[in-house]
Amino acid sequence: MTAYGVIVSKRDLRSYTDRPLSEETLEKILRAGRMSGSSRNRQPWHFIVVRDRSRLRELAGFGRYTPHLPRAAAVVCVVVDGLGAMFDAGRCAQNLMLAAWTLGVASCPATLHREKEARAFLAVPDGHVIATAIAFGYPHPGGRGAVERTALRILAGRGRRPLASMASLERYGASLPLPHAKMAGI
């Protein structure tokens, strides 16, 4: 699949099989995160991999929208060396998730809202921030789980905003000529 194909086909999934990630697959995913671009090539991230089921259940308790974490094969917490590195953390998280998708591994990011407690649980040093927790696992063959199906029903019809509604030429709001803007998915 091309890079473009991976980007436009990637979906966040929260339902996983019980199949564990091999060490090789996990390493490939982490290496993709490692290769992310960063400001001044600082590479401000650190990856905390959580695989133990009891620790995954406890980790899920630190967020509001995290019931999928305990069912994941692994959760990678992306930790950065301060709030100024959050843009780089986003770039890194996207690399992790896109690499996983190319390997047949689904993912879904989550916020750990009780960050102070999550930092203590993960032994994150002072001055560092948990940017995101990303669940990874092989997609469940039954498709999306109940929570995802409910969300999709609520959001049905919303779809993706048209590109023309979010792109301007030279100044905000000025029409950008897009020859294929009427095509589905553009």
Residue 182 CA to its chain's centroid (Å): 29
Which tokens is 46 given? Answer: 């650190």
Q: Tell me: the pLDDT tens digits for 6-46?
A: 999 999 999 999 999 999 999 999 999 999 999 999 999 99
Residue, of 167 and 134, whose pLDDT is higher: 134
Domains by residue range for the chain, with CATH: 7-150 (3.40.109.10), 161-186 (no CATH)
What Cα–Cα distance (Å) separates residue 91 from each residue in 14, 42, 78, 183? 21, 13, 11, 28
**pLDDT at site 74:** 98
pTM of the model: 0.85
Nearest to 95 by CA among 165, 180, 146, 35: 35
Q: Tell me: the pLDDT tens digits for 160-184?
A: 778 787 888 888 888 888 776 554 4
Q: Does 152 score more than 70 pLDDT? A: no
- What average pLDDT score do residues 119-134 get? 97
- What average pLDDT score do residues 76-80 get? 97
**pLDDT at site 186:** 42
Count other Cβ atoms within 10 Å, centred on residue 47: 16
Q: Is 161 helix (H, G, I), strand (E, B) or coil?
A: coil
Residue, of 166 and 64, whose pLDDT is higher: 64
Nearest to 134 by CA among 81, 87, 90, 104: 90
Which tokens is 104 given? Answer: 């047949």
**Cα distance from N-terminal residue to C-terminal residue, the chain:** 19
**pLDDT at site 181:** 52
Q: Which long-range contacts (CB under 8 A, 24 or more apart) does 3-10 make?
A: 6/98, 6/101, 6/102, 7/98, 8/185, 9/101, 10/97, 10/98, 10/101
For the chain, what is the largest distance between any 2 Cα atoms, rounded to a whole number of angstroms? 53
